A and B are shown apart, each in its own frame.
Chain A
Amino acid sequence: MNAVLTKEKQQDSHGRNESLTQKEKVYETKGLNLWYGETQALKNINLDIYQNEVTAIIGPSGCGKSTYIKTLNRMSELVPSVRTSGTIAYRGRNILDKSYKAEDLRTQVGMVFQKPNPFPKSIYENVAYGPKIHGIKNKKLLNEIVEKSLRGAAIWDEVKDRLHENAYGLSGGQQQRLCIARCLAIEPDVILMDEPTSALDPISTLKVEELVQELKKDFSIIIVTHNMQQAARISDRTAFFLNGEVIEFDETNTIFSKPNDQRTEDYITGRFG
């Protein structure tokens, strides 16, 4: 992890970090507002997500960070009273447009939840579930996908001898990495992580954090976290949310070393939140 930070510092010493800003945009959010009934949860959000980066979203409870990440795969619309305005372009296409099928989007954009939520099935079936519902039936191919995904989520060695046991026999940390494996199995483009380590012990947390570093080579990752140290450790950019607004969005180093906004500084130094 130190290596990551020093690398970024070196880049910083050359002035602006050009390699970061030139990356392709995965998501462009423009003027996004979201209401739960009469309550406005997101106010005029403008935020870009870049490819092969880890973007962290931080902020106190109730600031809208989970709501925002759920609009990125339209899980937010499962709440009946939700209304939105503005646009979120994913790879150039507005996902809030009704003609965009949520199922198509979610096949591209995987999600890992706060609490591990494996299906009440075997470890193998959990990982094979995604490919199966999308029509992959070839046993050999499925076996390969399962092994590759479990390896990708750094859990293969722990479960390879008990693939057909129920996933609920795993520890919380293992379940969470299984959920990541389940997500990798459909080879998504983006992985959304909604406080993925908040229910885990420190060692499992570390494993997931290391995994995130590994995964960003192949995926773009957006992670909501309560833990500012975590954001500082693993992310390339950080957005600070407060009361449904983006207060500041910048490279993580900048946010944590010289934030522009007083409120950001107050939050990261622990004055509130």
Chain B
Amino acid sequence: MAVNHGSEQSIQKMIFEKKQQKNKRWNVEKIIPFLLLITAAISVLTTVGIVLTLVFETFTFFERVSIIEFFTADKWYPFSATAASYGIMPLIVGTLKIAFIAALVAVPIGLASAIYLSEYASEKARRIIKPLLEILAGVPTIVYGFFALTFVTPLLRDLFPGLEIFNALSPGIVVGIMIIPMIASLSEDAMSSVPRSIREGAYAMGATKFETAIKVILPAALSGIIASVVLALSRAIGETMIVSVAGGSTPSMNMDVTSSIQTMTSYIVQVSTGDAGFGTTIYYSIYAVGMTLFVFTLLMNILAQFISRKFREEY
């Protein structure tokens, strides 16, 4: 100890000297929070900017087309030279059709995968399957779009000969496939974070694995599961490429899933890639449609937060 004492002192001295050198330079510790604040502000300000642009351009649109017509008219014919009609309902119906079909595909499969991964799979199986699922989440959506158009649609047409080339069913299913990993992965996280002691409590009552998973773990993880489903549905509603490629561009109000549709997103794509001139009503209409889409996903997220807070189980 006595021998070390000398060297300890000198290390203290060295640290002291280094510190003084640092202090001489400008005080990094004080500047870093400001730098970080600026980077955080960039994303916040960008969001604010986007929303403001949307709002202003939407107002311009509503100076030309009445807001009542926009929400009540049942026809979306912006390109008609003689009888242009801007009723967003057909686009909303198209969007909801896709979201609904996607949910029908993704919720059961995603939840079943989550239950398998969190309650049944061995550590080894989980280590293989989870990354595979996440690869599925990394496939570019344009690839999914062509998968829908060139693989799923022909397959479905073999089964249902009445199916049109562009329809709601095929892109709906593929959007569902796209969001499975999201539901599976987030729900698995929620279920895995239910403490082991709660599982043991259920097993010790004579509950089987399945009873434990369905009646104890699922309700206990409900807030996380709802959040994952809503997030995934937000993605389905906002999904663009798959529906643009495989869904067609016929706005329609009917409940038929075998015929061509148009969603809010695919309308925006159609106008953006077409040659609608700047300043035309059609040009402004994409902002109004974008605004509606934005409000949709915003409401869904608020709803999700409300539900998950209400059902929150604490342990």
By a beta-carbon cutoff of 8 Å, the part of chain A in contact with chain B is 73, 75, 78, 80, 102-108, 110-111, 113, 115, 117-121, 129-130, 132-134, 166, 168, 179, 182-183, 186
Residue B277 at the A interface, CB < 8 A? no
B122 engages A106 (CB within 8 Å)? no
Complex Cα gap A87–B200 (Å): 23
Complex Cα gap A179–B203 (Å): 13
- Set of chain B residues within 8 Å of A119, measured between Cβ atoms: 198, 201-202, 216, 220
By a beta-carbon cutoff of 8 Å, the part of chain B in contact with chain A is 122, 195, 197-198, 200-208, 211, 215-216, 219-220, 313-315
Q: How far is the CB of B74 from chain A (nearest CB, A)?
A: 46
Complex Cα gap A136–B254 (Å): 46
Q: How far is the CB of B118 from chain A (nearest CB, A)?
A: 14
B200 engages A106 (CB within 8 Å)? no
Complex Cα gap A99–B183 (Å): 37
A133 engages B205 (CB within 8 Å)? yes
A129 engages B205 (CB within 8 Å)? yes
Query: A80-B122, A133-B215, A168-B314 known; A118 and B206 CB under 8 Å?
Result: no
Q: How far is the CB of A168 from chain B (nearest CB, A)?
A: 6
Complex Cα gap A192–B233 (Å): 46
A117 engages B206 (CB within 8 Å)? no
- Taking A78-B200, A119-B201 as known contacts, 18 extra A-B pairs with beta carbons closer than 8 A to each other, sorted by chain A number, are A75-B204, A103-B206, A103-B207, A104-B206, A105-B206, A106-B203, A107-B206, A108-B206, A111-B200, A113-B197, A117-B195, A118-B201, A119-B216, A120-B313, A129-B216, A133-B211, A134-B206, A166-B313
Complex Cα gap A115–B196 (Å): 11
B216 engages A113 (CB within 8 Å)? no
Q: In chain A, what residue has the closest Cβ to B207?
A: A133
Q: In chain B, what residue has the closest Cβ to A112?
A: B204
Q: In chain A, what residue has the closest Cβ to B214?
A: A133
B206 engages A129 (CB within 8 Å)? no
Complex Cα gap A83–B292 (Å): 61
B206 engages A106 (CB within 8 Å)? yes
Q: Closest 7 CB pairs between A and B? A: A107-B206, A120-B313, A117-B197, A111-B204, A106-B206, A117-B201, A130-B205
- Set of chain A residues within 8 Å of B203, measured between Cβ atoms: 75, 78, 102, 106
- Set of chain A residues within 8 Å of B197, measured between Cβ atoms: 113, 115, 117
